[in-house]
Structure 1
Amino acid sequence: MIAASRERRLSVRALVAVVTTLLLAAALAHGLPAASATAAENARSATDRSAEARSATARSQRWVGGWGTAMTPPGLSGYSATGFADRTLRMVERLTAGGSAVRLRLSNAYGTSPLDLGAVTVARRAKGAAVEPGSSRTVRFGGQRSTTVPAGAEAVSDPVPLSTKADTDLVVSVHLPTATGPTTWHPWAKQTNYLSGTGAGDHTGDVSGAAFGEKTTSWFFLDGVDVLAHRAKGTVVAFGDSITEGGVTANDSNRRWTDELGRRLAARPGGQRLSVVNKGIGGNRVLTDAGTQGQGNRNLGNSAESRFARDALEQTRVSDIIVLEGTNDLGSDAGVHPGTPLTADQLIAGLGRLAQRAHAAGLRVHGGTITPNGKLTARGERMREDVNRWIRTSGAFDTVVDFDAALRDPADPHRMLPAYDGGDTVHPNDAGLRVMARTVDLSALGRG
């Protein structure tokens, strides 16, 4: 394809050159001004400029992470435990970057059997489960309309031409023709997604949402959407726990601090150079797997250390990682999550290993200080202060994002400012999440 395109450009240039020569010869033979020859030369210059512009546009487009979430093992009950058979999932994703094409990543990381993907489509969202007419595109995998993902593996789609914009919704519809068994999923999506009826068949091509009579606030199998973006330089990965995942913000509001950070980046002069993907998992801990204990059908994910490669280092064109973890490690001291109480030195060592791994991969990593937590014991609070002191002063991170200083109450630094408290003394409200996004120094992102 590339060779054929090049040959066509050469043929056009050759033809223009021949016309130019003939016109110039005719003009000279009749003693006339060579204006016609000059016009032909101008035509050739315009052709060259057009070819160069197309080439420059292609070079300026790069794949970046337009949206992402972090996958967890199946829970103990619900759809993650039972799976789906002959149903269509219609899932909504808010992009932090737009472009001219998309590609999907669908994961069977925690599956125990092969995952059959039937028809898959992608479209711009209209409202609810409905998609924008004319925007639906068929997704292919190696040129095929369906594929099977082995247990423990991931499928990456072919590029799909589709124009998208930052801070708008994309809709991915997946028909699951055979029984999936327990699913790879993200429990707390903070986003309404849709299911067709049992045994309803393939509704991936539907424009309306009439077939999608059931709702869920989880994502299943889909863990990333890449965007072929203009002027994009890289992807910022927000790696953390429930405060990064969305906390107490309302479903469908798109007010996570990562959403706000994406808007800040998009509003910069000269256009968006960086996208943001959210790899937060509620209840996640640095050093130990949280499992499903105490949360029923919710799974709190594998440890930050065990998932760091997949959810951070291996993301599409990642340039920066913002790490905000540790709250739940401290919480184990208060019985919030099960597990043996840790020491500050153990938690510091774990965070330090994450920073070292990011640097070894040639990436910039930014340390987020652990935010005020009204549920900590006195011992847990002392640990939080010790860990934050290390984050600020050790030099382990390229920069420090001082979320703690931004959210704490000056009159009581152990607690969150009431104006930012989401009501549980742990999770920031929407105002607090906006403050978190503004705490990130944009000039520190995407260097190099």
Structure 2
Amino acid sequence: MMTRLAWLALPLAMLSPTIAQAKSCQPAWIAAWASAQYKPVGDAVLPPGTLADRTLRQIVRPSVSGDRLRVHFSNLAGAQPLTIAGASIARAPNPASARVDPASIIPLRFDGKADVIIPPGADYLSDPVAMPTHALENIAVSIRYRGEPEQTSHPGSRATSWHLPGDHLADAAMTGAESFDHWFHLSGLEVERCAPARVVVALGDSITDGRGATTNGNDRWTDRLAERLQADPKRRTVAIVNQGIGGNRLLNDGLGPSALARLDRDVLAQPGVTHIILLEGINDLGTLTREAPVSRDAHEAHVARIVGAYRQIVARAHAKGIKVIGATVMPFVGNDYYHANAQNEADRQAVNAWIRQPGNFDAVVDFDAVTRDPARPDRLRPAYDVGDALHPSPAGYKAMGDAIPLSLFD
């Protein structure tokens, strides 16, 4: 009898580790994709009426898998409430097409309702959706606007978005849709995971945003890093989210708010953030003398302010237990917009010397060494130059993504 009872108890004993593991699991929400939102200017502003009472479909690519997801909508630049009449989510077979898998379309809800009014300057999370999400798959988020929205945008999406009049939230094809290459009112996609995860936020300018990358090609340096992380079985739990803005600076606003001004919202507030890769400073260096030369004292003071901004970012991140990886500023002599001279190059060298100094950052990624021309180190390597002596080509972005040691995130 004792032997029979012990045999009957064996399956329960075998299951007990699984039960214990399930009880110890505490699901957590983390950032899987993000875009820095702000008020568009110039040719990034859509003509009046473009989005009025229309459905806008936008494609994003989460960098890590999850069991459930929720979407982060933004009315950051709005002075009036933003009314979303409805939204949906689906899997997109092709990032360069509006078509989605019809079987995967799921309506989004906000506090259990189909519509939501987002206050001026605010963000709003959708209710969670039971949609297991795979890393690096294409996810389509469709928004149905009520009336004409004020524009909050990420102009440098390097991804195509589609729009049609009326309600097309459940329309798999969106046949005849018009398109543009921007994201609107879409600031993040979060996934819920049981397994522990780490989140790396890339804070930068157009070189992080991907100027020179292929539209719908997902070949920014952050995309390459995400692919390498997912190819490593030990590091598939590491997410990378891109918070680059074209023209961004450390010290002054440009096309969007400065890095110091947006640090809390775009970086420190990202759920699960553990690391920052900071690639900022090239626009600060270039704008100093773009309009007219300045004195040597002004150059030295400007470098000191850039270093001070780095210190601020490190201190504010460390206060929240976040590691900061400094990336060296890449060469830009030969660029017609900034027309850098020997003094600008000396400023860049001074900034990079500080970045490389042990103890200033938790680690360093030397993008300067990766991308500079060995024959003319004040310029980009020709094979990595998209053609403006400032932005990398897709080959250059790949070299940058390949140069980052994955062990930095262990």
Same fold (TM over 0.5): yes
Deviation track 1:224-256 (CA, whole Å, cap 9, x = no partner) reads 001123534211000000000012011011000
Contact 2:33 2:63 in 1 (8 A): yes
Equivalenced residues, count: 398
Structure 2 CA distance, aligned partners of 1:336 and 1:413? 25
In the other structure, the counterpart of 1:41 is 9
Structure 2 CA distance, aligned partners of 1:408 and 1:391? 17
Which is higher, the Rg of structure 1 or of structure 2?
Answer: 1
Structure 1 CA distance, aligned partners of 2:210 and 2:198? 23
| Equivalent residue in structure 1 for 2:184, among 208, 216, 220 | 220
In the other structure, the counterpart of 1:55 is 23
| Equivalent residue in structure 2 for 1:410, among 364, 374, 378 | 374
In the other structure, the counterpart of 1:10 is none
| Equivalent residue in structure 1 for 2:267, among 308, 312, 322 | 312
**Amino acid in the other structure paired with 2:283:** N
Q: In the TM superposition, what are the counterparts of 1:166-177 in structure 2 within 5 Å?
A: 166-177=135-146
In the other structure, the counterpart of 2:257 is 302
Stretch deviating more after TM superposition (281-290 or 404-413) = 404-413
Structure 1 CA distance, aligned partners of 2:93 and 2:207? 29
Contact 1:232 1:272 in 2 (8 A): no
Structure 2 CA distance, aligned partners of 1:180 and 1:281? 22
In the other structure, the counterpart of 1:143 is 112
- 3-state SS of paired residue (2:378): strand
Structure 1 CA distance, aligned partners of 2:286 and 2:4? 81
Deviation of the 1:37 alpha carbon: 3.6
Contact 1:74 1:81 in 2 (8 A): no
Structure 2 CA distance, aligned partners of 1:43 and 1:329? 65
**Amino acid in the other structure paired with 1:319:** T
In the other structure, the counterpart of 1:294 is none
Deviation of the 1:395 alpha carbon: 2.1
Structure 1 CA distance, aligned partners of 2:145 and 2:315? 40
Deviation of the 1:190 alpha carbon: 0.3
| Equivalent residue in structure 2 for 1:349, among 308, 312, 323 | 308
Deviation of the 1:180 alpha carbon: 1.4
**Are 2:99 and 1:130 equivalent residues in the alignment?**
yes
| Equivalent residue in structure 2 for 1:71, among 37, 53, 58 | 37
Deviation of the 1:44 alpha carbon: 3.9
- 3-state SS of paired residue (2:92): strand
Deviation of the 1:81 alpha carbon: 6.7
Q: Percent identity?
A: 37
In the other structure, the counterpart of 2:174 is 209
Deviation of the 1:77 alpha carbon: 5.7
Deviation track 1:261-308 (CA, whole Å, cap 9, x = no partner) reads 111111113351210000000111110011xxxxxxxxx211111001
Change (3 A) 1:78 1:67: closer
**Amino acid in the other structure paired with 1:327:** I
Stretch deviating more after TM superposition (129-138 or 308-317) = 129-138
Contact 2:88 2:169 in 1 (8 A): yes
Deviation of the 1:194 alpha carbon: 0.7
- 3-state SS of paired residue (2:102): coil
Structure 2 CA distance, aligned partners of 1:359 and 1:67? 23
Stretch deviating more after TM superposition (262-271 or 105-114) = 262-271
- 3-state SS of paired residue (1:415): coil
Structure 1 CA distance, aligned partners of 2:21 and 2:399? 41
| Equivalent residue in structure 2 for 1:161, among 123, 130, 133 | 130
Deviation of the 1:159 alpha carbon: 1.2
* RMSD, aligned α-carbons: 2.3
| Equivalent residue in structure 2 for 1:368, among 324, 327, 351 | 327
Structure 1 CA distance, aligned partners of 2:341 and 2:82? 44
Change (3 A) 1:443 1:336: farther
Deviation of the 1:42 alpha carbon: 3.4
Q: In the TM superposition, what are the counterparts of 1:181-200 in structure 2 within 5 Å?
A: 181=150, 183-196=151-164, 200=165
| Equivalent residue in structure 2 for 1:121, among 88, 94, 104 | 88
Change (3 A) 1:44 1:393: closer
Structure 2 CA distance, aligned partners of 1:355 and 1:34? 64
Deviation track 1:301-320 (CA, whole Å, cap 9, x = no partner) reads 11111001111111110000
**Amino acid in the other structure paired with 2:328:** T
**Are 2:213 and 1:249 equivalent residues in the alignment?**
yes
Structure 1 CA distance, aligned partners of 2:245 and 2:370? 22
In the other structure, the counterpart of 1:381 is 345
Stretch deviating more after TM superposition (45-54 or 316-325) = 45-54
Deviation of the 1:331 alpha carbon: 1.3
Deviation of the 1:400 alpha carbon: 1.0
In structure 2, the gaps of 5 or more residues are none
Give the ranges of 4+ consecutive aligned residues of structure 1 lying more than 6 Å apart after TM superposition.
339-342
In the other structure, the counterpart of 1:86 is 53
Structure 1 CA distance, aligned partners of 2:169 and 2:55? 7
**Amino acid in the other structure paired with 1:313:** L
Structure 2 CA distance, aligned partners of 1:349 and 1:78? 32
Deviation of the 1:49 alpha carbon: 5.2
**Amino acid in the other structure paired with 1:315:** Q
Stretch deviating more after TM superposition (123-132 or 249-258) = 123-132
Give the TM-score normalised by structure 1.
Answer: 0.84
Deviation of the 1:203 alpha carbon: 0.9
Structure 1 CA distance, aligned partners of 2:291 and 2:323? 32
